[in-house]
Amino acid sequence: MKIRKLILAIALIVMGVCSAQAQCKFKNTAFKSGEFLTYNLYFNWKFVWVKVGNASMSTVESRYHGKSAYRSSLITRTSESADKFFSMRDTLLCYNTTELEPLYFRKGARESDRYTVDEAFYSYPNGKVHVKQHRQKKDGTHVWKTHTPEACTFDMISIFLRARSFNPEGWKKGNRISFPITDGVKIINAVLEYKGKTTIKADNGHKYRCLQLSYIERENHKEKEIVRFFVTDDENHVPVRLDMFLKFGSAKAFLVGAKGVKGKMTSQVK
């Protein structure tokens, strides 16, 4: 048992999941301001994958409360033809310090006639983590909660920005990293699991050698995979494909274009 705990502690340190006593900082090696990624969005309709819209992910250097920060967003939009059956208008936004500390997160989700908003406001008084969370429910009512977790806490976008700078050298399939993550007005346990390497063909016609990272949420002793990222096996770790496991079914996003990427995408294969 002591050996298992020691291995877990080492893994958490190596992978950058910090304790609340330390500053929740991490060196960005994967992206630069001005990166803009575009995707085609597909939905599984009666066992057939149908193109239903598009998605985009961007990161720029901005300001948050007067200080330099990264502003990153993920936007998904179904087309007018797909809206007749099911409309999806999701916008995920986050601000992180230039050292990848989470500052703010917002998710606005419109799925058919259902619209909800989740927010998380992060601060670090005296080296402690403080998270204020807000949820606007589909009926328009508002709920606020405050948490002071013992470990650095993330949201879906900020943990992915950090994961892009992980060094996968020496990783083995099945490696898992646990961390707290915001969910509405709760903080739950989540996991990033390394699924190994594979080759993915993007919608730009190119193939890429990719790392697979599975984002899993754990609640009430149950696990649920939310998103699986396929990122380029190079220093950029650009998402080439995203598999999204939604309440109403499954969706996929395939890379169409990548502008403002930090380095050469050496993972491209013939």
How confident is residue 151, by pLDDT bands cut at 50, 70 and 90?
very high
Please determine, for residue 16, whether its predicted confidence score (pLDDT) is greater than 70.
Answer: no
Q: What is the structure's pLDDT at 241?
A: 96
H-helix or E-strand containing 211? Answer: strand 207-219
Q: State residue 156 phi and psi, 5-degree precision.
A: -60, -35
How many structural domains comprise the chain? 1
Per the domain annotation, does 183 fall within a domain? Answer: yes
CA–CA gap between residue 68 and residue 204 (Å, rounded): 33
Domain ranges, residue 218 = 18-258
CA–CA gap between residue 74 and residue 160 (Å, rounded): 11
The pLDDT tens digits of the residues spanning 186-229 come to: 999 999 999 999 999 999 999 999 999 999 998 888 899 999 99
Q: What is the structure's pLDDT at 44?
A: 84
User: Residue 142: exposed, middle, or buried by beta-carbon count in 10 A (0-12, 13-18, 19+)?
Assistant: exposed
Per the domain annotation, does 10 fall within a domain? Answer: no
> Are 213 and 194 contacting, i.e. CB atoms less than 8 angstroms apart?
yes
Per the domain annotation, does 268 fall within a domain? Answer: no
Q: What is the pTM of this model?
A: 0.84
CA–CA gap between residue 248 and residue 245 (Å, rounded): 8
> Are 42 and 243 contacting, i.e. CB atoms less than 8 angstroms apart?
no
Q: State residue 175 phi and psi, 5-degree precision.
A: -55, 135
How confident is residue 253, by pLDDT bands cut at 50, 70 and 90?
very high
10, 203, 265 from 13: Cα distances, Å? 5, 36, 28
Residues 148-163: what's their mean pLDDT?
A: 92
Beta-sheet pairing, 222-232 with 249-259: unpaired
How many CA atoms does the CB half-sphere of 141 hold within 13 Å?
Answer: 2
Q: What is the structure's pLDDT at 8?
A: 36
Per the domain annotation, does 2 fall within a domain? Answer: no
Per the domain annotation, does 224 fall within a domain? Answer: yes
Which residues are CB-contacts of 147 (< 8 A; sequence separation ≥ 6)?
130, 131, 132, 133, 153, 187
Please determine, for residue 29, whether its predicted confidence score (pLDDT) is greater than 60.
Answer: yes
Per the domain annotation, does 97 fall within a domain? Answer: yes
User: Residue 258: exposed, middle, or buried by beta-carbon count in 10 A (0-12, 13-18, 19+)?
Assistant: buried
Per the domain annotation, does 128 fall within a domain? Answer: yes
Per the domain annotation, does 153 fall within a domain? Answer: yes
Residues 170-186: what's their mean pLDDT?
A: 91
Please determine, for residue 9, whether its predicted confidence score (pLDDT) is greater than 70.
Answer: no
CA–CA gap between residue 15 and residue 191 (Å, rounded): 12
Q: What is the structure's pLDDT at 204?
A: 96
The pLDDT tens digits of the residues spanning 135-147 come to: 999 888 999 999 9
CA–CA gap between residue 100 and residue 256 (Å, rounded): 26
CA–CA gap between residue 221 and residue 200 (Å, rounded): 33
The pLDDT tens digits of the residues spanning 64-116 come to: 999 999 999 999 888 877 766 667 778 999 999 999 999 999 999 877 677 89
> Are 17 and 122 contacting, i.e. CB atoms less than 8 angstroms apart?
no
